[in-house]
């Protein structure tokens, strides 16, 4: 029978849940990423508002991030002996379905209640589940339980310690039995529950009381540990960091065939850990489910950055059916993360939390890690896969995680191409001498694609030092370069007899020297990176079919074609493809097709200014106006795997006006 949904009242219970969640969710010392969960029951105990799986506590609001569930249905789920006897995959599939039936709200199946909802149901009215760094040191140490007993010896009703069991249904049933035993012994349910290799549960009647208990637990645990304060580390050798980023990016690509940006971070904790003689030993084995879910396990320790050795390490993980490591701790340098930019901040949080926990647990009788069986359960658990997908999202875009640089990205075709690359999944550096215009392009992209990775860079393409500085900024942010599109250019329109020499030289400088400098610096990086790349010169139909009164443009656009052919011959052995796109007349958003230029064209053809655009459109075979997106699509094609055997070629996108010959 279909359950009739009762009316949702946006009452103080939901408001209380949001306040608690937001308060604890902003502190990375308490929770990382989408981990942790919270709940508050209605006064009558019939319903419970709980965090939705995959939602970060800090992001919860009245519109999303929570579910309302029937408490009795959750208790029945925990007590279902038939479920307990099922094989793991069948059991967990049924648990997910049953949790959906427990919900009593307007949300669809895309928003699941926390998988630990049944556990919340058997505790007090306000429940806060966190993964605090301070607590992690105790629950992941061999002497953790003894030290917790001593720390809370003054409590009349001491904390409940739960030995590690698989999370989800099994954990809920285990805690249910232990809570019943606790109530028999102490006459009340536990206010504090420590979960071995997992985290902390706190529950109380009132929210303020629950938050105060959290504070007391953190304060007590922190007093017995090394300082939680993490300060910035001394500056590292930037060239060494950039070189290491390129090498790690190459190794990850060689092992997985996937592109990822590589970010770098360093602080006093990372530095202290990386220089320990037992660092590699301390990083042997995952310590928590979150470390597996968000970071694919602990960081790989590297005394030296060697592409072949890293590739072999990652290939061995794949061979064993393990997830590929996302983080690398390099001695004397710091922490490198190869992952989607959307998940990098969380992975960094999880990694730093892991380093802190490992350092402190090592001094408390030694570190305990998840066994292979326990880790395999987490890695194969559908609930955690759902949580990771909800947090990170997914994409199968052609250029996912490729690092692209577009010159002249502040306007016209440069802007259109940058938007097209971002739409195809690339991370785009917007290079322009007018950095404010480039920033507007960035804002345009972010408005369309909130999760896109873009950065605006002030860059004079004719100045080699400026170009080198721009590429350094890109490497410091994303760790590599895969695509360079030369789109910056000018078109001084004069009759030969009237052409000023300075305008001729300026066109040569921007349209040829600028292309050359950008390609030179980019190709050096691509060669060092060792995973190929794509260079696209934006030429013009005027490069293959000269136009009247356009000497500088004709010459430079033709020169761009021939430069690209030579570069293709030089760079092919490094897997770098070089091609050209020759657009026809693209009017929208163009700085070249400004009112003054249109007047020049009108005079040249003896027509009115308002007739210029229709005149040019009529010259094409398709009789259609070419849009910036048409040129962007051609560039995306030439940068994608769909054109992996295309190099040294010219693609004309002009609606059928000039023929390549």
The per-residue pLDDT for range 193-246, each reduced to its tens digit, is: 999 999 999 999 999 999 999 999 999 999 988 765 667 766 789 999 999 999
Residue 603: exposure state from Cβ atoms within 10 A (0-12, 13-18, ≥19): exposed
Answer yes or no: is pLDDT of 388 > 60: no
Stronger pLDDT, 273 or 112, i.e. the higher one: 273
Mean pLDDT to the nearest integer, 48-63: 91
Structure tokens at 600: 């020049």
Mean pLDDT to the nearest integer, 138-166: 95
Q: What is the 8-class DSSP label of residue 206?
A: S
Q: Average pLDDT over the chain, rounded to whole?
A: 91
Q: How many residues does the chain have?
A: 661
**For residue 383, what pLDDT is reported?**
53
Mean pLDDT to the nearest integer, 632-647: 97
Q: Band the pLDDT of 84: cuts 50, 70, 90.
A: confident
Cα distances (angstroms) measured from residue 218 to each of 68, 206, 211, 222, 223:
29, 19, 11, 6, 9
**For residue 384, what pLDDT is reported?**
53
Q: For 403-590+626-653, CATH number?
A: 3.40.50.720
Domain boundaries, the chain: 12-223, 238-392, 403-590+626-653
Residues 466, 392 contacting (CB under 8 angstroms): no
Cross-strand pairs, 181 = none
CA dist., res. 237 & res. 231, Å (int): 18
Task: Give the H or E element holding residue 561.
Answer: helix 551-571
**For residue 595, what pLDDT is reported?**
87
Answer yes or no: is pLDDT of 268 > 70: yes
Stronger pLDDT, 8 or 398, i.e. the higher one: 398
**For residue 231, what pLDDT is reported?**
72
238-392 against 403-590+626-653: fold identical = no
Answer yes or no: is pLDDT of 382 > 70: no
Find all residues with CB under 8 Å of 302, minimum gap 6, and list them.
309, 310, 328, 329, 330, 331
- The sign of the torsion formed by the CA atoms of 447, 452, 458, 463 equals negative
**For residue 214, what pLDDT is reported?**
96
Q: Which CATH class is domain 12-223?
A: alpha beta
Strand boundaries in 388-442, DSSP class E: 403-407, 427-432
Task: Give the H or E element holding residue 310.
Answer: helix 307-319
Residues 555, 496 contacting (CB under 8 angstroms): no
Answer yes or no: is pLDDT of 471 > 70: yes
**For residue 86, what pLDDT is reported?**
87
**High-pLDDT (> 90) share of the chain, %:** 75
Give the least confident one: 87-91, 130-134, 449-453, 646-650: 87-91
**For residue 3, what pLDDT is reported?**
44
Q: Band the pLDDT of 377: cuts 50, 70, 90.
A: confident
Give the least confident one: 120-124, 222-226, 418-422: 222-226
Q: What is the DSSP string of 89-158?
A: HHHHHHHHHHHHHHB-SS--TTSPBPTTHHHHHTS-SEEEEE--HHHHHHHTBTTHHHHHHHHTTT-SSP
Neighbours of 305 (CB within 10 A): 20
Mean pLDDT to the nearest integer, 625-640: 96
Answer yes or no: is pLDDT of 295 > 70: yes
Answer yes or no: is pLDDT of 359 > 60: yes
Mean pLDDT to the nearest integer, 181-195: 96
Residues 463, 480 contacting (CB under 8 angstroms): no
Answer yes or no: is pLDDT of 5 > 60: no
**For residue 11, what pLDDT is reported?**
59
What are the catalytic residues? 553
CA-closest candidate to residue 103, choices 128, 77, 80: 77
Entry pTM: 0.89
**For residue 660, what pLDDT is reported?**
67
Residues 106, 258 contacting (CB under 8 angstroms): no
CA dist., res. 312 & res. 315, Å (int): 5
Answer yes or no: is pLDDT of 395 > 60: no
Residues 327, 352 contacting (CB under 8 angstroms): no
**Model pLDDT for residues 325-349, shown as the tens digit of each residue:** 999 999 999 999 999 998 999 999 9
Answer yes or no: is pLDDT of 169 > 60: yes
Q: What is the 8-class DSSP label of residue 339?
A: S
**For residue 475, what pLDDT is reported?**
97
Answer yes or no: is pLDDT of 7 > 80: no
CATH topology of domain 238-392: L-fuculose-1-phosphate Aldolase (3.40.225)
Mean pLDDT to the nearest integer, 288-315: 94
Cα distances (angstroms) measured from residue 235 to each of 221, 266, 305, 478:
32, 9, 19, 18
**For residue 639, what pLDDT is reported?**
98
Answer yes or no: is pLDDT of 9 > 80: no
Choose the most confident range, by mean pLDDT, from 90-94, 546-550, 562-566: 562-566
Mean pLDDT to the nearest integer, 602-607: 88
**High-pLDDT (> 70) share of the chain, %:** 95
Cα distances (angstroms) measured from residue 48 to each of 44, 121, 225:
10, 8, 36
- Residues 43-50: contacts with CB within 8 Å, 24+ apart? 43/13, 45/71, 45/125, 46/70, 46/71, 46/72, 47/13, 47/71, 47/104, 48/74, 48/117, 48/120, 48/121, 49/13, 49/14, 49/17, 50/17, 50/113, 50/114, 50/117, 50/120
- CA 194 from centre of chain: 31
Neighbours of 260 (CB within 10 A): 24
């Amino acid at each position: 029978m279909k359950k009739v949904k009762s009316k949702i009242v946006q009452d103080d219970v939901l408001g209380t849940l949001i306040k608690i969640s937001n308060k604890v969710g902003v502190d990375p010392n308490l929770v990382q990423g989408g981990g942790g969960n919270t709940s508050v029951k209605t006064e009558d105990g019939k319903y419970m508002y709980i965090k939705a799986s995959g939602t970060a506590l800090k992001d919860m609001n009245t519109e999303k991030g929570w579910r309302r569930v029937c408490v009795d249905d959750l208790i029945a789920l925990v007590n279902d002996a038939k479920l307990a006897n099922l094989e793991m995959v069948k059991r967990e599939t049924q648990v997910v379905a049953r949790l959906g039936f427990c919900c009593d709200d307007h949300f669809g199946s895309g928003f699941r209640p926390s998988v630990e909802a049944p556990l919340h149901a058997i505790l007090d009215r306000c429940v806060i589940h966190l993964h605090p760094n301070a607590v992690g040191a105790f629950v992941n140490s061999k002497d953790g339980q003894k030290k917790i007993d001593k720390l809370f010896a003054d409590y009349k009703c001491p904390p409940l310690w739960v030995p590690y069991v698989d999370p989800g249904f099994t954990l809920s049933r285990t805690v249910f039995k232990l809570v019943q035993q606790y109530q028999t012994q102490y006459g009340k349910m536990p206010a504090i529950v420590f979960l071995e290799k997992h985290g902390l549960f706190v529950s109380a009647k009132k929210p303020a009381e629950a938050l105060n208990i959290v504070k007391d637990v953190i304060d007590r645990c922190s007093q017995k540990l090394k300082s939680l304060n993490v300060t910035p580390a001394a500056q590292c050798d930037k060239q060494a960091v950039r070189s290491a980023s390129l090498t790690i990016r190459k190794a990850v690509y060689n092992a997985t065939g996937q592109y990822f940006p590589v970010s770098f971070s360093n602080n006093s904790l990372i530095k202290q850990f990386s220089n320990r003689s037992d660092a590699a030993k301390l990083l042997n084995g995952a310590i928590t489910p979150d470390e597996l879910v968000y970071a694919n396990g602990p960081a790989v320790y590297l005394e030296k950055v060697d592409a072949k050795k890293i590739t072999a390490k990652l290939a061995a993980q794949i061979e064993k059916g393990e997830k590929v490591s996302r983080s690398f701790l390099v001695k004397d340098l710091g922490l490198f993360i190869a992952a989607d930019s959307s998940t990098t901040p969380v992975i960094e949080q999880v990694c730093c939390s892991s380093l802190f926990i490992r350092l402190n647990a090592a001094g408390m009788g030694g570190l305990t890690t998840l066994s292979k069986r326990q880790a395999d359960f987490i890695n194969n658990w559908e609930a955690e896969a759902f949580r990771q997908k909800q947090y990170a999202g997914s994409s199968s875009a052609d250029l996912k995680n490729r690092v692209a640089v577009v010159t002249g990205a502040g306007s016209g075709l440069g802007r259109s191409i940058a938007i097209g690359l971002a739409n195809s999944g690339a991370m785009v550096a917007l290079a322009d001498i007018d950095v404010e215009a480039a920033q507007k392009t960035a804002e345009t992209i972010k408005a369309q694609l909130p999760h896109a990775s873009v950065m605006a860079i002030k860059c004079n393409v004719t100045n080699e030092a400026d170009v080198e500085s721009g590429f350094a900024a890109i490497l410091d942010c994303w760790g590599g370069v895969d695509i360079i599109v030369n789109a910056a250019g000018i078109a001084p329109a004069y009759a030969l007899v009237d052409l000023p020499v300075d305008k001729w030289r300026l066109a040569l400088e921007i349209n040829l020297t600028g292309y050359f400098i950008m390609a030179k610096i980019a190709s050096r990086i691509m060669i060092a990176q060792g995973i190929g790349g794509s260079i696209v010169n934006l030429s013009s139909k005027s490069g293959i079919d000269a136009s009247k009164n356009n000497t500088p443009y004709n010459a430079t656009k033709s020169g761009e074609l021939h430069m690209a052919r030579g570069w293709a011959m030089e760079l092919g052995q490094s897997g770098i493809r070089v091609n050209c796109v020759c657009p026809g007349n693209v009017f929208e958003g163009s700085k070249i097709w400004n009112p003054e230029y249109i007047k020049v064209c009108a005079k040249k053809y003896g027509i009115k200014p308002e007739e210029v655009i229709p005149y040019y459109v009529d010259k094409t075979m398709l009789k259609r106006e070419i849009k910036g997106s048409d040129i962007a699509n051609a560039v995306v094609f030439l940068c994608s795997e769909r054109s992996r055997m295309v190099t040294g070629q010219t693609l004309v996108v002009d609606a059928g006006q000039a023929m390549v010959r």
